[in-house]
């Protein structure tokens, strides 16, 4: 559509101009059913009325003052996240994205254990900046930018407990590995990693950028697993559609950073934190989260019954299916023939990340559109 953008994205030739709930409309007025949510960002749906109202009110009041000062939305969001996660009592650093939140976590862990190494898992994804990319052991993503940041030991997930030692500064994990095809880590493995971190004094860094904010049916996936991370990173669904990231540090590690150790010009500004507070108001509700779990079961069971599906994985409304057909081609056909927005994470892997406000009828509708393509 334009030659003015750097070509680092394989964009579809569609321009969206409006969204509401689980629906999108393109510039020609065509309506689409969105089962991608801007890649797990619009958890409250497109243009949720509470988020829109919070943004409109805050935009007319105050947009930016820098992190040399406090603002009420920033303070409120930090207090809520600190109270609601890691058993309470922790502290929050705001960033602008998941990669930035992960960079902050890596820096905090490395400052705490100077010269320490990181254990990271094959199949994980933690961002595109140099530190976060170094924690993402995927050859196609890393190779063009080598040499990367030293000190990262990539292991298969099942080998992680034995890879942790006294020299380990931190272990970086996704409880459900999202970008490589929605692979939940076994509960017993996660507890073994937690125990090994405790034994050797390493920090357990849980990347909840995609799994957080209700995506798996609890506010944070760590609640499903019954573990307490030392550091937790958030982004994507936190801002209700606006860019924000956060690092939450448990109380015993909350004061590792001193003034000047780390920072960000725009992070935690009043506009995005007002939006995040509104999104949190919607999502952190027991009835809402119960509905996510119920809708997740409905989606998973429905996908399992589609023709050519050999495996279904996921948690809550974070679901993937292995297909007998070409997944990227199916995604293209779903978009152009059925106006259904989906995502392929591999040659045969289809990913579903609908807004958490999706209804049973919309799930049935999406499954019907896929059935028409796969039959």
H/E segment holding residue 311: strand 309-315
The angle at the Cα of 248, spanning 206 to 172, to the nearest 5 degrees, equals: 20
Closest CA to 118 of 163, 183, 148, 185: 163
At residue 8, φ and ψ (nearest 5 deg) are -90, 0
Instruction: Clarify whether 94 is annotated catalytic.
Output: no
Q: Which of 94, 118, 207, 257 is catalytic?
A: 207
CA contacts within 13 A on the Cβ side of 217? 19
Q: Which of 35, 118, 236, 352 is catalytic?
A: 236
Q: How far apart are CA 279 and CA 246, in angstroms?
A: 14
At residue 224, φ and ψ (nearest 5 deg) are -60, -35
CA contacts within 13 A on the Cβ side of 341? 24
Q: How far apart are CA 352 and CA 301, in angstroms?
A: 13
Instruction: Clarify whether 207 is annotated catalytic.
Output: yes
- Which tokens sit at 103? 């960079």
Q: Are 125 and 161 in contact (CB under 8 A)?
A: no
Q: Are 154 and 133 in contact (CB under 8 A)?
A: no
CA distances from 233 to 133, 204, 278, 314 (A): 15, 11, 19, 20
Q: Which of 35, 94, 125, 220 is catalytic?
A: 125
Exposed, middle or buried: residue 52 (CB in 10 Å: 0-12, 13-18, 19+)? middle
Query: Which residues are identified as catalytic?
Result: 125, 207, 236
């Amino acid at each position: 559509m334009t030659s003015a953008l750097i070509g680092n994205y394989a964009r579809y030739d569609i321009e969206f101009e409006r969204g509401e709930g689980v629906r999108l409309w393109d510039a020609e007025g065509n309506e689409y059913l969105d089962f991608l949510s801007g890649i797990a960002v619009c958890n409250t749906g497109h243009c949720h009325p509470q988020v829109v109202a919070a943004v409109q009110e805050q935009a007319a009041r105050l947009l930016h003052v820098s992190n040399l000062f406090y603002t009420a939305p920033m303070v409120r969001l930090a207090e809520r996240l600190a109270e609601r996660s890691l058993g309470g009592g922790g502290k929050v650093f705001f960033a602008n994205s998941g990669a930035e939140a992960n960079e902050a976590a890596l820096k905090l862990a490395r400052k705490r254990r100077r010269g320490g190494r990181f254990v990271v898992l094959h199949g994980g994804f933690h961002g595109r900046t140099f530190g976060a990319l170094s924690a993402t052991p995927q050859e196609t993503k890393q190779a063009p930018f080598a040499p990367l940041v030293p000190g990262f030991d990539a292991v298969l997930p099942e080998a992680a407990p034995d890879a942790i030692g006294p020299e380990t500064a931190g272990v970086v994990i996704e409880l459900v590995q999202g970008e490589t095809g929605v692979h939940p880590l076994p509960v017993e493995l996660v507890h073994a990693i937690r125990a090994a971190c405790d034994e050797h004094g390493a920090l357990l860094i849980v990347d909840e950028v995609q799994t957080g904010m209700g995506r798996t049916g609890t506010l944070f996936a760590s609640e499903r697993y019954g573990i307490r991370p030392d550091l937790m990173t958030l982004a994507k669904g936190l801002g209700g559609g606006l860019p924000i990231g956060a690092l939450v540090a448990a109380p015993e590690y909350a004061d590792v950073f001193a003034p000047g150790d780390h920072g960000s010009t725009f992070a935690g500004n009043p506009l995005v934190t007002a939006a995040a507070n509104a999104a949190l108001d919607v999502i952190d509700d027991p009835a809402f989260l119960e509905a996510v779990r119920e809708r997740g079961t409905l989606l998973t069971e429905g996908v399992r019954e589609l023709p050519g599906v050999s495996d279904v994985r996921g948690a809550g409304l974070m679901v993937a299916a292995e297909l007998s057909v070409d997944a990227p081609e199916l995604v293209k056909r779903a978009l152009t023939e059925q106006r259904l927005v989906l995502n392929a994470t591999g040659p045969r892997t289809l990913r579903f990340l609908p807004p958490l406000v999706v209804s049973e009828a919309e799930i049935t509708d999406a499954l019907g559109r896929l059935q028409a393509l796969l039959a």
